[in-house]
Amino acid sequence: MRFIRLLAVVVVLLMCGVLGSACAGPRGEQGPQGEAGLPGAGITWQGEWSSSTTYNQDDAVGYQGSSYISNQDGNSSHLPTDTTWWDLWVAKGDAGATGAQGVKGDTGAQGLQGTQGIQGVQGDPGPNMIVAMGVVDIDGNLVSGYNVTSSVWNDAGAMDYYEITLKVTYTTEYVTVVTPFWNTLPYHAYGASGGKLVVAMYEYSNWVKCGFSFMVLECP
């Protein structure tokens, strides 16, 4: 008899577990709605902190990577790290770990080497046709010269002339060019043995003194 009662209780409990609220008692009435809460304070972002700006309460600024909120009005010239005037809002994050080194790129191709230019053919040396040259003043003195030893004025009577001694001897195959300082004067120039050049100036019926330049050239 006791067994039958226990079995009946178990069946009732199983039915309550399946039917849920069907075995529960009646639900109570809904309570009244609570009062509305106080409005939250708004945060005004003011950008990076500046010592020349006066901040009010709930103004937010950035400073050295972190963010701070002013906790009172009239906040001027106080660093955001001053906890009397500021509260930390968002702290600056720690520096990240150094990334792994990237893979080294391939070596670029070597540029093409320029071709060397063709060297020009060296020309033949020019002929050295000048045997001697120089400048003689009116008194027969040598002013300057090339391959010239001396120059003197000879008063020979019948013909007065300049005698120029050269450092070289030359054959009869030469050309002498004389330019008198007075360009209108005719002159006579001829060579003598021993490498001497004789220059005579003639004006009207007299042999005269006149400075000149001269050049002795080899005949080609």
Q: What is the CATH number of the domain that holds 84?
A: 2.10.10
pLDDT in tens, 136-147: 998 889 888 898
pLDDT band at 11, cuts 50/70/90?
low
All residues at 6 or more sequence positions from 54 whose CB lies less than 8 Å from its CB, including other chains? 74, 75, 76
Answer yes or no: is 191 within a domain.
yes
Paired tokens of 175: 């050309």
Answer yes or no: is 113 within a domain.
no
Residues 139 and 214 in one domain: yes
- Give the Cβ contact number of residue 214 at 10 Å: 23
Nearest to 94 by CA among 65, 68, 69: 65
Answer yes or no: is 69 within a domain.
yes
Answer yes or no: is 71 within a domain.
yes
Domain range for 141: 130-218
Query: In this predicted model, which residue has the larger pLDDT, 6 or 179?
Result: 179
Residues 148 and 204 in one domain: yes
pLDDT in tens, 64-76: 889 999 999 999 9
- Annotate 75-92 with b (16+ C-beta within 10 A) or e (fewer): beebebeeeebbeeeeee
Answer yes or no: is 60 within a domain.
yes
Query: In this predicted model, which residue has the larger pLDDT, 169 or 155?
Result: 155
| Beta-bridge mates of residue 187 | 201
Bridge-based pairing of strands 66-70 and 54-55 is unpaired
Answer yes or no: is 97 within a domain.
no
**Residues 66/68/74/76 CA torsion (nearest 10 deg):** -10
Question: H or E stretch including 110?
Answer: none
Instruction: Give the pLDDT of residue 155.
Output: 82
Answer yes or no: is 165 within a domain.
yes
Instruction: Give the pLDDT of residue 183.
Output: 63
Give the amino acid at 98.
T
Answer left, alpha or beta for residue 9, where phi above 0 means left and psi between -120 and 50 means alpha: alpha
Bridge-based pairing of strands 66-70 and 86-90 is antiparallel
Section 14-23 average pLDDT: 52
Whole-angstrom distance, CA of residue 22 vs CA of residue 15: 9
Whole-angstrom distance, CA of residue 218 vs CA of residue 216: 7
Whole-angstrom distance, CA of residue 144 vs CA of residue 138: 13
* pTM exceeding 0.75: no
For residue 41, pLDDT over 70 is answered with no
Whole-angstrom distance, CA of residue 60 vs CA of residue 48: 9
Domain total in the chain? 2
Instruction: Give the pLDDT of residue 86.
Output: 93
Nearest to 86 by CA among 115, 66, 101: 66
Section 163-179 average pLDDT: 77
Beta strands in 57-98 (DSSP E): 59-63, 66-70, 75-76, 86-90
In angstroms, how far is CA 186 from the centroid of its own chain?
A: 67
**Percent of the chain whose pLDDT exceeds 70:** 71
Answer yes or no: is 118 within a domain.
no
